[in-house]
Amino acid sequence: MSEHLKRGNLLWEGSRMFLPEHKEALLELKEKEKRQVKPELDDQAYHEMGMYLLTALNYTMPVRIHYWEQHRMKKTEGLIAHVDEWNKHIHLETNQHKQRIPFHALTEVEFL
């Protein structure tokens, strides 16, 4: 075998490339793989979260809230400033900013 063919992958090293369509498809596939399934909660879990929220609001206790956003689970910590029953949102004050979390996105609430 000649020395030219024994170079491993160096023969094709300079001609490696991605088409833009392939790159977009690869990025979409990676994004879909990161997506998670939203957990389904029963009435007892919603009742328990409501009790935690009410207690944290009345006694100004810091909470950690786990919620669902853009196909991922997220969590944040802070004080509950207001529970907006009309628009179905929780207003949470964190160290950096104020945040609005919809009721339907909540998955877990715990005291810190």
SS3 96: coil
Whether 95 and 65 map to the same domain: the answer is yes
Q: What's the one-letter identity of residue 30?
A: K
Are residue 13 and residue 47 in the same domain, yes or no?
no
Do 88 and 103 meet the contact criterion of CB atoms below 8 Å apart? yes
Question: Considering its fold, how many domains does the chain have in total?
Answer: 2
pLDDT band at 25 (very low <50, low <70, confident <90, very high): confident
The closest of 81, 9, 41, 112 to 101, measured between CA atoms, is 81
Residues 24, 49 within the same domain: no
User: What range defines the domain where residue 82 resides?
Assistant: 43-111
Q: pLDDT tens, 60-101?
A: 999 999 998 888 889 999 999 988 989 999 999 988 889 999
13 with 57, same domain? Answer: no
91 and 32 in contact (C-beta within 8 Å)? Answer: no
pLDDT for the residue numbered 92: 92
Supply the pLDDT for residue 94: 87
Do 23 and 58 share a domain, yes or no?
no
Phi then psi for residue 47, to 5 deg, are -65, -45
- Do residues 28 and 62 share a domain? no
pLDDT for the residue 89: 92
- For residues 95 and 66, membership in a common domain is answered with yes
